[in-house]
A and B are shown apart, each in its own frame.
Chain A
Amino acid sequence: MRELLGLFLVLAILVIIPTVDHVFAAADEPGEYIDRRVLIWNLFFRMMVAAFTVGAVVSGTMIWLCWRFRESHPKATPTEYEKSGEFGAPA
């Protein structure tokens, strides 16, 4: 197990350090500049797509829960804990 861990560590170092090196060694080309507006706002919109997707799932679930498990729903049945009063504070 320990040898395996060591092997993975060596491999990770072998792969990660060159990648990081490569990434930072990107050469400058005079006159060609990145546009920070494009990079940053694109990042923002990607994050918002993720946030709104997750948000739709979470809020959709909660709205459905509130609709389905409300007391007045036709299919509402007492929960298994109600008879014994086994929710909330212990006796």
Chain B
Amino acid sequence: MVLELQKPRPVWQIMFSTHHTDVGLLYLIMSIAFLFLGGTLALLIRAELFFPGSQIIADSMTFNRIFTVHGTTLIFLFLLPSASAVGNYFVPIMVRYKDMAYPKLNAIAFWMIPPAGALIWLGFADFTWYATPPYSIISSPGPAADMWIFGLKILGISSVLGAINFVVTILKCKHPDMSIGQVPLLAWAFLSSSLIVIVAIPTFAAALLMLLTDRLGVTGFFNPVMGGDPIAYAHLFWFTFHPEVYVLVIPAIGMMYEIIPRFSRKPIFSKSSGIFAFVLLSVVSFSSWAHHMYATGMSFTEKTVFMLGTLAAVPASGMHVFNFVATMWNGRIKFLTPMMWSIGGIALFFSAGAGGVANAAMPLDFTTHDTYWVVGHFHLFVMGTIAFGTIGFIYYMFPYVTGRMYNETAGKIHFILSFIGTVLVFFTQHVLGLYGMPRRIFDYPEIPEWIVMNQIATVGAMIIGVSMLIFLINLIHSSAKGKPADIHDPFGLGGKYYYPFESKNPHH
């Protein structure tokens, strides 16, 4: 049943299937493809910044397009779909239901993503991943910008459909014997993040439409020349995309909640505090959006309110870290690849969080806002925490998906190189920001400190690039030629897995 690659089926049977593991497989393959596409763009950016001046990218317009598509791709076409992949595989199993609540809707939500990805990549817009007006209205060349807007519109609808599906599956389709408190933490993570999506995304969806009509010249919501206000867009955008950070990070933490107890051979220290922290995070995620906008001329009072709202998220995040540490305590930890990625992810989660607290302190905005500090900070989240958790989980579910084992040594090398690379790139970028280098610049003046730190960051990025190549080879080779996995206990840990060995719902 789930051993897709062991019992080959014609590819269209997977493509036109509505079975949750098939849709999950599609999500997984697509998100890994976009991980490599977006990662290649990152390497291009880093290579260009190795020396001041223009080397490999011809002009600043191309560079601006590259970092725009890099960010859009990795957030919307890698992180979100890879979380959906995990959710599709595991949520129905965890709530003991035969499939997702709405299988066809599930497949539709997936199939909206490739056209959206095509719009984004074929357009190659240049207005950064947050499309600031008035630049995006009066200055950004079409049709790239319009294609980006439509692409994001489609992705937003897809996210909302997926989120509705998860919420209904978990709340309405869970086994009647199961109380909501018995739902595993990974499924709770999807419940929390899906609720955030449903509340947050419509705001941005509206803003996108307003942006489009502004570009067409029929309205002036965000165009000051027509009496509009660009700051209104910033509020609408961040009201969606600050919570979106938690939409990304909560499933990653849920994945760590699946891996860490298993590889420590202990139950989770406190499930109730995990649930509590998830719910608390999804509520306070809506109290901090304007901390992205301290420099736009906000009043002292506004800044204070949003600083407090931001700091309020810290205790809940800290509870997760406590839970992980307390779970590992007195355990018997087996350091296989998934566990290493999870522990690395927690360490970087702390670093990213500490940087986030510094960002929330409003006067520090004068030094760090829109510099490489910010780039380093959020990359520690998206790469160091979310991608680490996700990649660890991809290794963890690999035997379940393919019926074979990945190469353990290659997996460990992948982790070690990625960890070193991540620390080199993103910690250096923090310091670079303190030296005042603005983000989103194609070229920089020959300031010796800037040159050295850019070069360190580039070397780190190349190390990550090499490690990801190892990952790709490992995935492809092992899924075809890897050792057959003992599907009842592929990691030799004892205990029970959420791997269904006999499906109640064969492929239809």
Chain A residues within CB distance 8 Å of chain B: 36, 39-41, 43-44, 47-48, 51, 54-55, 58-59, 61-62, 65-66, 69-71, 76-79, 81-82, 85-91
Contact = CB atoms under 8 A, between A and B. Distances in A.
A65 to B, nearest CB: 5
A65 B375 CA distance: 31
5 contacts: A51-B358, A65-B328, A70-B335, A78-B332, A82-B494
B264 A59 contact: no
Contact of B497 (A55, A65, A86, A88): A88
A69 B495 contact: no
Interface stretch (B61-69, B142-150, B343-351): B343-351
A79 B347 CA distance: 24
Interface of B: 94, 182, 184, 261-262, 264-267, 321, 325, 328-335, 343, 346-347, 350-351, 354-355, 357-358, 361, 363-364, 366-367, 494-498
A87 B350 contact: no
B335 A40 contact: no
Given A40-B366, A66-B335, 6 more contacts: A47-B357, A48-B358, A51-B358, A59-B347, A62-B343, A71-B335
Contacts of B267: 81, 86-88
B333 A69 contact: yes
Given A66-B333, A71-B334, A87 B354 contact: no
Contact of A47 (B328, B361, B495): B361
Nearest to A41: B367
A16 to B, nearest CB: 14
Given A36-B366, A59-B347, A76 B332 contact: yes
Given A59-B347, A69-B333, A91 B496 contact: yes
Given A54-B354, A89-B496, A79 B330 contact: yes
Contacts of A65: 325, 328-329, 333
B361 A43 contact: yes
